[in-house]
């Protein structure tokens, strides 16, 4: 099943890695390099899933999520935090900020397509 996925990531290497893996898995990938751009593309491109880096130039991932949730389109989309550190505080912070789940860097390229299928199957927590 081809799904449109928005990847918000300022690091070009990480962005390319995630894009290549998801495209190889058959998905359509839209890219944003700032939180502001991510908010905009969520509104205009109707992705089925957003993968959001937390550390971004300008507004960070938490603020971008808050703005996404303000729009009717963004209120129901699963948004998954991509955390730089495998730290429990980061995970707790991401979930309490309203992210539907989190992915840890470094991205596991073999696990990613399976993780993405699980995110898609589960959808947005708030809409259950
Ligand atoms: Mn970053």
Q: What is the mean pLDDT of residues 102-120?
A: 95
Rounded to the nearest integer, the mean pLDDT of the chain is: 93
Q: CA 44, 46, 51, 55: dihedral to nearest 10 degrees?
A: 20
How high is the pLDDT of residue 85?
A: 66
Q: How far is the CA of 50 from the centre of ligand 1 (A)?
A: 15
Distance 128 CA to ligand 1 centre (A): 30
Residues lining ion ligand 1 (Cβ < 5 A) are 10, 53, 55
pLDDT digits 0-9 by tens, 68-110? 999 988 999 999 999 876 667 878 888 899 999 999 989 999 9
pTM of the model: 0.94
Cβ contacts of 38 within 8 Å, gap of 6 or more? 6, 8, 32, 50, 52, 56, 64, 68
Domain 4-120, CATH number (from 3.30.70.1230, 3.30.70.100, 3.40.640.10, 3.40.50.2300) = 3.40.50.2300
Element (H, E) at 82: strand 79-83
Residue 79 Cα to ligand 1 midpoint, Å, equals 16
């Amino acid at each position: 099943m081809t799904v449109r996925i928005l990847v918000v990531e300022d690091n070009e290497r990480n962005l390319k890695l995630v894009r290549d893996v998801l495209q190889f898995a058959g998905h359509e990938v839209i890219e944003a390099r700032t939180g502001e751009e991510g908010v905009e593309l969520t509104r205009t491109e109707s992705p089925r899933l957003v993968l959001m880096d937390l550390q971004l130039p300008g507004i960070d991932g938490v603020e971008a999520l808050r703005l996404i949730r303000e729009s009717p389109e963004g209120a129901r989309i699963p948004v998954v935090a991509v955390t730089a550190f495998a730290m429990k505080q980061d995970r707790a912070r991401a979930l309490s900020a309203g992210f539907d789940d989190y992915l840890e860097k470094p991205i596991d390229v073999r696990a990613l397509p399976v993780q993405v299928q699980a995110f898609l199957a589960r959808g947005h927590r708030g809409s259950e």
